[in-house]
Amino acid sequence: MPEPMSPARLLELDQQHVWHPYGPMPGRNRPLLVESAAGVRLQLAEPVAGVSELIDGMASWWSAIHGYNHPVLNEAAHSQLGRMSHVMFGGLTHEPAIRLATKLVEITPEPLQHVFLADSGSVSVEVAIKMCLQYWRSAGKPAKQRLLTWRGGYHGDTWQPMSVCDPDGGMHHIWQGALPRQVFADQPPAGFDAEPDAAYVRELHELIALHADELAAVIVEPVVQNAGGMRFHSPGYLRALRQACDAYGVLLIFDEIATGFGRTGALFAADHANVAPDVMCVGKAITGGYLTLAAALCTTEVAQGISGGDVPVLAHGPTFMGNPLATAVANASIDLLLSHDWQAEVKRIETGLIDGLSEAATLPGVASVRVLGAIGAIQLERPLDEARMAAASDAAIRSGVWLRPFRDLIYTMPPYITGDQDLARITAAMCAATRASEG
């Protein structure tokens, strides 16, 4: 056993040596030291502002849909661990990966038949893009190498995904000169329930038609733009994209990494539109937040196109592709989700968020409040600077809730198992954070 270390010592080492997401080195903001987690609660190693337990309003970046330390997922991991935690996927295969791929094919839109297992969301987006470029190369149209997306999106932090993130407001604008130059449409008009705007649909069609010769694919987050700003749009725009892509010979990628597995009230956001993409990425909630895993699914046409070309293979193969432990837990997580009335659960959370956030709309400094499925967001009139961000986070912690506001947003994507009382505490903490950021 290693020597025990005090929380203070651990945090000191953390600051000196450990890089955190989107952070500087050494770290400026002291992270909270988590000792364990169960259900929807994070247990801190030492109390902060007198609070030692936090209700998790973030579900660990939207992935821990069943909460922490779940007996069913624990059992799946233990039982797989006793067999093998990993074997290479080149030349070898195993039941957990085969079961998972088959399950994903069954629950995603019908035309998606083939599954590439990747080790993170960003990598699955890289693979999806590679699939599309290679499809056109194999079809004798190597000039089709660019991508089209709408502004306000987020697709990950590796190179190709960064090139289709929002070019202005996003985190990656400093790389504009170095990244592949993609084609951007305006941000889709807001509102899940709004009628599709005819002028915007025309803009999409015209832009896709104009660039058809050089476009490999259109890539979007369906229905919800997540890390780009928690904005919802009409599923009608997905139907418009499908029509335009078919009309002008362009492939369509849906990035369902954040929206998949029920988050928006449909199992996949594409289901709201009844539209099937040519390639779909899933990740985040796929293992219930236990282990890193993602997948890119494609149609038989895309798979055959690639495999019939002069380079008849997809040259991609992460070391930990198809990891048995991750795929075994993913199977358990998806089975657990589908074994109960998840739609009612998400609906219950949606209702709780609408009720709990109704007060927020009346608070000073609030531009809008939106809820869809198990997503609730308060958008402020101006972005949070560092001081207001800290005030908002501290207020949430004092309310016993873990939130991580960003830009002008105080939002939650809680685990689906969050009970009504805990949900009420999350929404109350969001309101308290909003007040503190304005105070």
Ligand X SMILES: *Cc1c(COP(=O)(O)O)cnc(C)c1O
Task: Summarize as ranges the residues that interact with ligand X (CB under 6 A).
Answer: 120-122, 125, 154-156, 221, 226-227, 255, 257-258, 283-284, 294
In terms of CB distance, is 252 or 397 closer to ligand X? Answer: 252
Q: Please enumerate in sequence order all residues whose Cβ is within 8 A of that of 287, keeping only pairs 6 or more positions apart, or say none.
A: 63, 73, 293, 326, 329, 330, 333
- Active-site position among 119, 130, 135, 154: 154
d(CA 297, CA 216): 17
* Residue 218 Cβ vs ligand X, minimum distance, rounded to whole Å: 15
| Residue 144 annotated as part of some ligand binding site | no
* Residue 413 Cβ vs ligand X, minimum distance, rounded to whole Å: 10
In terms of CB distance, is 125 or 353 closer to ligand X? Answer: 125
Q: Please enumerate in sequence order all residues whose Cβ is within 8 A of that of 187, keeping only pairs 6 or more positions apart, or say none.
A: 150, 151, 152, 225, 231
| Residue 419 annotated as part of some ligand binding site | no
d(CA 280, CA 131): 11
d(CA 233, CA 287): 27
- Active-site position among 56, 255, 271, 408: 255
In terms of CB distance, is 255 or 345 closer to ligand X? Answer: 255
- Active-site position among 284, 290, 408, 411: 284
* Known catalytic residue at 284: yes
* Known catalytic residue at 22: yes
| Residue 124 annotated as part of some ligand binding site | no
* Residue 396 Cβ vs ligand X, minimum distance, rounded to whole Å: 21
* Residue 276 Cβ vs ligand X, minimum distance, rounded to whole Å: 18
Is residue 116 within 8 Å of 127, Cβ to Cβ? yes
* Residue 373 Cβ vs ligand X, minimum distance, rounded to whole Å: 15
Which residue's beta carbon is nearest to the bound ligand X?
Answer: 121
* Residue 181 Cβ vs ligand X, minimum distance, rounded to whole Å: 20
**Chain-centre distance for alpha carbon 207:** 27
| Residue 405 annotated as part of some ligand binding site | no
| Residue 404 annotated as part of some ligand binding site | yes
| Residue 202 annotated as part of some ligand binding site | no
In terms of CB distance, is 282 or 353 closer to ligand X? Answer: 282
d(CA 296, CA 279): 7
> From the CB of residue 384, how many other CB atoms can be counted at a distance below 10 Å?
20
In terms of CB distance, is 96 or 228 closer to ligand X? Answer: 228
The number of residues in the chain equals: 439
| Residue 284 annotated as part of some ligand binding site | yes
| Residue 31 annotated as part of some ligand binding site | no
Nearest one of 398, 282, 414 to 349, comparing CA atoms: 414
Nearest one of 71, 62, 97 to 289, comparing CA atoms: 62
* Known catalytic residue at 154: yes
d(CA 16, CA 282): 34
Using CA of residue 132, residue 136, residue 137, residue 138, what is the dihedral sign? Answer: positive
In terms of CB distance, is 44 or 402 closer to ligand X? Answer: 402
Q: Which residues belong to the annotated binding site for pyridoxal 5'-phosphate?
A: 121-122, 255, 318-319
Q: Which residues belong to the annotated binding site for substrate?
A: 61, 154, 284, 317, 404
- Positions annotated as catalytic residues are 22, 154, 255, 284
Q: Which residues belong to the annotated binding site?
A: 61, 121-122, 154, 255, 284, 317-319, 404
